[in-house]
Amino acid sequence: MFELRVREWLESDYLHYLGRVARRVAYTYHLSDADVPDLYQELCLALWKAGPERMVNATWVFHTANHRAIELYNRQRRAGRFAAVVGAEGLDPEVSSDPEKALLVRARADRLPRVLRRFYRLRFQEGYTQRELMQRAHLTRGSIRGLERECFRRLQGRCQI
């Protein structure tokens, strides 16, 4: 496998290779054609974050594309699962088209414990990603997933609040 500096990946004709990798990985994870540009952008961003002088080979690029595709797939799957609670607009009652569901979610969100209420606001209303919450709140990914599950469970009404 050949290695190039990140700068060379981003400033050369190898950008077409990144596009092909993004398309292939998106197909592998059954992502739509509309997701390929997002995956391509995530891949370019990952390269840029690695630093301009870092030596990167094609295997690193492919593995990074795989990881980004998995994150994108999981985000879409989670969005579909949460959309079942209040509709396609997500968990933000301010943008829900169904006023009855919006009122129900808002009432349940107001009764969440303080920590979950703050997490709900950051994750679902302000749209922070898991990675951003890890950096901002100094939480592990497992803790964030647990908080997501608990918010989801309580907002669905599966437990007494």
* pLDDT tens, residue by residue, 71-99: 888 777 666 544 444 444 445 555 556 67
pLDDT value, residue 84: 47
122 three-state secondary structure: helix
- The pLDDT of residue 51 is 86
- Token representation of residue 51: 């630093």
Q: How many domains does the chain have?
A: 2
Predicted structure pTM score: 0.51
Q: Are residues 82 and 92 in the same domain?
A: no
And the tokens for 73? 């797939």
Q: Which amino acid is at 72?
A: L
**CATH code at 93?**
1.10.10
Q: Are residues 92 and 128 in the same domain?
A: yes
Mean pLDDT, rounded, for 130-149: 85
Q: Would you say how long the chain is, in residues?
A: 161
Task: Judge if 71 and 1 occupy the same domain.
Answer: yes
Pair 56, 100 in one domain: no
pLDDT reported for residue 88 = 40
For residues 91 and 120, is the Cβ–Cβ distance under 8 A? yes
Cα separations in angstroms, 63 against 71, 80, 98, 108, 159: 13, 26, 41, 41, 40
- Single residue among 48, 65, 86 that ends a domain in this structure: 86
- Quick one: 63 and 114 in the same domain? no
pLDDT at 132 over 70: yes
Clarify whether residues 65 and 144 are in a common domain. Answer: no
Give the end of a domain, one of 86, 103, 125. Answer: 86
Which helix (DSSP H) or strand (DSSP E) does residue 15 occupy? helix 15-28
Q: Is 144 helix (H, G, I), strand (E, B) or coil?
A: helix
Same domain, 160 and 94: yes
Ranges assigned E (strand) in the chain: 3-5, 55-57
Which residue range is the domain that position 153 belongs to?
87-161
Amino acid at 66: N
Spacing of C-alpha 62 from chain mean position: 19
Per the CB < 8 A criterion, the answer to whether 64 and 43 are in contact is yes
d(CA 76, CA 28): 15
Say how far apart CA 90 and CA 12 lie, in whole Å.
40
Out of 33, 57, 86, a domain closes at 86
